[in-house]
Structure 1
Amino acid sequence: MTTTISQARAVATRNYLLYDTGDVAGVDEVFAPDVIDHNPVPGTSTGIEGMRFLVGEVRNGFSDTRHEIVFQEELPGGWVVNHWRMTAVHTGDAFGLAASGRPVSLTGTDIVRVVDGRITEIYHVEELLQMRLQLTA
């Protein structure tokens, strides 16, 4: 039996490649220009500029970044739920933390809506306390 991946799941998965490769320019291919980020980083916009900021911060602050999708489920209406784990090394300044050279592993959950091949809405929760403890302890 062959399993096919829907367009919504493929786009939701490609989102993580942006972070792993640091491809800020790719944000325009994955996210709609008027994307709604329901959990923007404080001080950033909810739109595509906020998504560019996130990808750029990860690119600038971490090396050897790798996302693994632990769980993925597609729901009606183009919605996709992803639970993921990111591993990386904190080699640059990011999110207000000076480079520590320490490895980090954290998990998060994203709920995205894909319309016409791009993410139009995103809810995301990252275990930032987990990350902060690893980088500052």
Structure 2
Amino acid sequence: MNTDARAVATQIYRIFDIGDVAALDDVLAPELVDHNPIPGTSSGVEGMRLLVAAVRDAFTATRHEVLHLTEAGEGWIVGHWRMTGIHTGQWLGTPATGRPVSFTGTDLMRVVDGKVVELRHVEELFQLHQQITA
């Protein structure tokens, strides 16, 4: 298991790109606290599984480009990324459009012993919404 916080963050972005919900067990602590879970889901690992599956089911050819990744001390990582892909499945009630998408997000992750124990994230969902509904 890789305990380098930057490598753990990078692995999470890769998991989103391949849609491998089982791989989350390698990088998320069982006691994970997600301060921004999907509405109606839990704050922990199961909520993250649902998020990865939702992205996997709604978009193909996803790619997270890491725009900025830095350690902020005490295990905290700040990551800023851009996700590109094609909207090929339902996303938050919007049926597939076949349109390409590109939007950004920022994550704050605290890594302890090689696993994320705390997470705060903000995605530019308005950017995404405009692309799939315009």
Which category of TM-score, normalised to the shorter sequence, fits these structures?
over 0.9
Structure 1 gaps, min length 5: 1-5
Work out whether 1:104 is the aligned partner of 2:101: yes
- 1:113-132 aligned at under 5 Å gives the runs 113-132=110-129
Question: Cα offset for 1:113?
Answer: 0.4
**TM-score, length basis structure 1:** 0.94
Is 1:82 matched with 2:74? no
- 1:43 Cα deviation (Å)? 0.4
Find 1:50's aligned residue among 43, 47, 56: 47
Q: So what's the TM-score if we normalise by structure 2?
A: 0.96
Q: Structure 2 regions of 5+ residues with no counterpart?
A: none
Q: Which residue of 2 aligns with 1:135?
A: 132
Count of residues paired in the alignment: 132
Would you identify which runs of 4 or more consecutive aligned residues in structure 1 move more than 6 Å? Answer: none
For residue 45 of structure 1, give the secondary structure of its aligned residue in structure 2: coil
Counterpart of 1:83, as a letter, is: H
1:60 correspondence with 2:62 = no
CA displacement, residues 16-73 of structure 1 (integer Å, 9 cap, x when unaligned): 0111001110111111111000011110100100000010001101000000010111
Amino acid at match of 2:7: A
RMSD of aligned Cα (Å) = 0.9
Percent identical residues: 58
Find the counterpart in structure 2 of residue 29 from structure 1. 26
TM superposition shift of 1:96: 2.0
The code of the aligned residue for 1:105 comes to S
